[in-house]
Structure 1
Amino acid sequence: MADKEESKTSEYPEVTSGAGGWSPEIGDPVDPRADKRTAPAPREPVVVPVKQGGGVTRGLFWLVATIGLVIALVLGAKTIGLFPGLTNPFAEQQTDRSGPALLKSVQDLNQFVAAEGNFQVIVDVQKDRKYIPDFLLNERILFVAAGSVEVYVDFASIGQGAVKESEDRRTAEINLPAPQLRPVRIDNDHSYVFEEERGIFNRIGDAFSSDPNRLQEVYKLAEQKIGDAAKDAGLQKRAEDNTRKMLQQFLAALGYTSVTVNFPAP
């Protein structure tokens, strides 16, 4: 009997279980509902949102960083003299689009510049309002002005009979006009604003409007002060002495032994 049962079971194929799985024996009842309960549910795909524009921002950042690195390397190599022949591609360039100068007129000058005075003056101008604090409304400027004044004698104004000479051409007497002061000439290369104070309201006004002639008044005041100083500096007396000496040496070379140069009394 045992041999018959063994022969029956040998007719069925051998069933192997999976790794860690359950292998049913022949004859065990199979419950299909149990398989449904134990079967894992399929997973839903996970969608990860991707931010738009991230690549553009990173690209822009690296572009700016690369340009900054190139500028730093070029300026650094130029500063330490690593490449003497290297020119700075980021150097400042100045373009002059001014037109040519036009000749308006020509005037012959018969003037002898006999003396010149160089001056320097500090112009301190302040504009404020009464009962208003200076930090609100105030304008003050310290301007260091350098200028010069020339003193000349106008030979073109010598009239008839201004020059008298002896018959033997050995003695001469010349009557000349008084020396004159030329207009003050400000030296822009040596003139500068030393300090400037402006109130809050003044600075706010500057943000909305600009005054290109703001320093014109300061320049005019500097010219006036230098001109007054030139009148009191004795330049005219020095010009008379230099003119007299020049004419005496010039006429002495022509054979005159006595030369007298007269100027009007001050």
Structure 2
Amino acid sequence: MKAAISPITISKEQIPEDENVIVIKHLFKKFGSNAVLKDFNLKVKKGKNTVVLGKSGSGKSVLIKCIIGLLKPDNGSITVFGEDIPELDEEGLDKVRTKIGFLFQGNALYDSMTIRENLEFPLRRHWFDLSEPAIDKMVHEALENVGLAKTLDMMPSELSGGMLKRVALARTIILKPEIILYDEPTTGLDPVTSKEIENLILALQKKYQTTTIIISHDMTCVKNISDVVVLLLNGQCYIEGSYEELEKSTDEQIKQFFE
């Protein structure tokens, strides 16, 4: 059995409501000669839904992969709960990741595993020494949170696209993370299912008081779930504000997203 890794010792109560739980300064990331992020700066406050808006290929997914440590930036700093992500070793990253949930655009479920096994996977993979009853309780609670308690022993191939997205969301929240990163949560879904996912994101944010970053170019989703909208343009944080503030802008660079 793997030795348990102690979770990072920081609780929601220790973080003031107005504190920045994520701070990104002068972030640069390029692939070959293609500079994707160029001096990107952002502060994310506790408990807020921050949507990063941008065109396809603008670097939105690269940004959140840098935040969670899946990609290492070429320069700049990313601090999460005061920890400098690019400077952490694997053990340090594992500790921080116990507080971060990541909903992949393609769901990233294992086709050969049941829904139960997919949700158990993060619990067995790294850090907690949990009893079987505790694991079972956490799996049931996560599925109940997304309205899919009856899918426990089904296979992913038996579920619709919207149900798969909800299962992926259940796996994301199973550890009750303080931060959740959503990569295009409504892409490929019909309008009714998209609305269901938006409502789930809002309900779970309210229930667990999570801080969220949502990557999206779905303007309906952006309008419905954002507290703050950040426009990622030419590799930089071009502007940030409420949806209503940006929608009223006369700046042509901003208007193109709201037309």
Q: Which range, TM-score by smaller chain?
A: under 0.3
- Greater fraction helix: 2
> Normalised by the size of structure 1, how large is the TM-score?
0.20
Q: Which has the higher contact order (CA 8 A, sep 6+)?
A: 2
Rg larger for: 1
> Normalised by the size of structure 2, how large is the TM-score?
0.21
